[in-house]
Amino acid sequence: MGGSGETADGLGRRAFLGLAAGAVLGAAGCAPCPGSAGSPRPGTGILPAATAAAAFVAEGAVAGPGTTGPHTIGTLLSAPHFFVAHRGSGDNWPEHTMRAYRQSADAGLKAIEVSVSATADGVLVCHHDLTTARLTGAGLTIAASSAASLARLRNDARPWLGPATPLEPIPLLTEVLDAFAASHVIFLEDKQGTNAERILALLENYPDARQHIVWKQPASSAGHAQASADGYTTWGYVTRADYPRLAALAPLVDLLGIHHTAPEDRILELVDSGKPVIAWEVRRRSEHLRLRELGVRGFICSNIRHVLHQESPRAEDLFAEGLRGAGDLPWKADGGWDEQPAFTGGALRLSNREHAGYLLGSMAGAVDAADWELAFELRWPDGPPPAGASGGAGLAFGQPTDASYRRDPGPAAPGYELDVGADGRITLSRRDPGAATAVELAAGNSPAPAPGEWLAFVVSVAPRSLTVHRLEGGTPRWSLSTDDARYGGGWFSLLKNYDAGPPVEFRRVHLRAAAGSERCANVG
């Protein structure tokens, strides 16, 4: 920072307050905190988990604890809104496994979604892809492989859910039907599109199948007519290629499906058909609320523990445990498993090919206090990004929802961004709704990090101010402050603010109530 009033470290006194080692924040007699006048910061807006979870049960969207059913298509559709476990809720448990289906049922889901393919010897197995490469690492084509060869494989969701995730076998359709065909609704899809007769014949072994099985395929699939003729409820989903002919497709099925990213006018066109519309694959609370406001009734959800508020927020990250927390999501969660950062040595590593964000939704709302702090550490294990990079790394905080977030030019969700540059410069900015650029609130220099050096930070959020501390030996050494109190949302994301370049790692992310009331550092 240039100009007068800089310390020996290049820290401007007005916004970047040099703190002597051992200084005690909040000591009696400190100078008035910057910007203590004005309206206080709004609250996080996050309901207590138990309150929100109970609301879903009260409206019938999910079953209450201990409720065993039976849940039928009729009872599912009788509720104003309902949830289906997408692949058994693959953001919480290994997708399309008996463990995922059972956990979803235990969580109160009345319906699960199951994909089916036939092996070379005619055995029906539950697997989303037509090959086993993504989930098992073995590149077998299901249609060309025996059931015995698939039985030796294990679904491996560790790249998506974390290294502590257990391996699970590929289930047979008969296993799933035996467990759930009489107690839950099953949205069942013939992935190969050639097994309708075989599947329908198998279902005849389950007396109440027509009350529990929804035939699922693309809306244009000929299989719907066959399933409907056999007395089954049909759900047809549409893709982008179908948008010009939605009016022609809607009469072909009983229930309609559309992806959550579809344009609003296309969703509304299906809603206006009068048939129940079910959207997939819902991962975020903000996605659920948007769809619900548009008139969507059903939500095929891959992150039920988060969307349904079934876990209380955590005050610390789960990186050292090797598990992705419910609500923790990469910026492009729909982009495939390659988007998930790696867990390494108790840290989370962002090595995306482009700049990215990582939502720590499992921690949002963990602290209910007017004054709270967010602590974290970051480092560049292989050295910092090159000079001239578009940014460094840091976090976005104060966002009002769990919507996907990364540092981009153009309009963004309101809140704040903290960027730590490779040269040690720290910048605190504010993003306003609809604004093309961020408003810089405070910035200043601190020592450039050495390759592999962990940098520790604490963001202190008070009703009328924000303060960012970089620590040295556990003590605030460099700090910047602003009296901005515009946003108070409880959501935050870790940020990698440059394309390509070296990976950045985060660890020891921690939320806590501040030790005292609104505090500031003495100005030396």
Task: Give the number of other CB atoms < 10 A from CB of residue 263.
Answer: 11
Ranges of H-type helices in 137-172: 147-151, 158-161
How far apart are alpha carbons 316 and 143 in whole angstroms? 45
Written as six digits, the tokens of 115 are 């994909």
Written as six digits, the tokens of 179 are 């467990």
Does residue 359 contact residue 402 with C-beta atoms inside 8 Å? yes
Ranges of H-type helices in 8-118: 49-58, 73-78, 98-106
Q: Mind listing the pLDDT tens digit for each residue in 298-341?
A: 999 999 999 999 999 999 999 999 999 999 999 999 988 999 99
Residue 18 has pLDDT above 90, yes or no: no
Whole-number average pLDDT of the chain: 90
Share of the chain above pLDDT 90, in %: 83
- Per-residue pLDDT, 516: 62
Written as six digits, the tokens of 2 are 């240039």
Q: Mind listing the pLDDT tens digit for each residue in 30-51?
A: 333 333 346 899 988 898 999 9
Residue 108, C-beta contacts closer than 8 angstroms, at least 6 positions apart = 57, 62, 63, 64, 65, 67, 308
CA dist 45 → 80, 290, 414 (Å): 24, 17, 14
Tell the residue number behind the tokens 């605190």, with chain if given: 428
- Per-residue pLDDT, 17: 32
pTM higher than 0.75: yes
> How do 168-169 and 154-155 pair as beta strands?
antiparallel
Chain centroid to CA 446: 33
Least confident of 37-51, 63-77, 92-106: 37-51
516: buried, middle or exposed (CB in 10 Å: 19+, 13-18, 0-12)? exposed
Closest-CA residue to 126 (of 173, 71, 192): 173
- Per-residue pLDDT, 68: 82
User: What phi-psi label fits residue 60: left (phi over 0), alpha (psi between -120 and 50 degrees) or beta?
Assistant: left
Domains in the chain and their CATH numbers? 16-45+315-513 (2.60.120.560), 49-115+173-307 (3.20.20.190)
Work out the pLDDT band at 520, boundaries 50, 70, 90: very low
> How do 111-118 and 82-85 pair as beta strands?
parallel
Chain centroid to CA 71: 28
> How do 393-399 and 415-420 pair as beta strands?
antiparallel
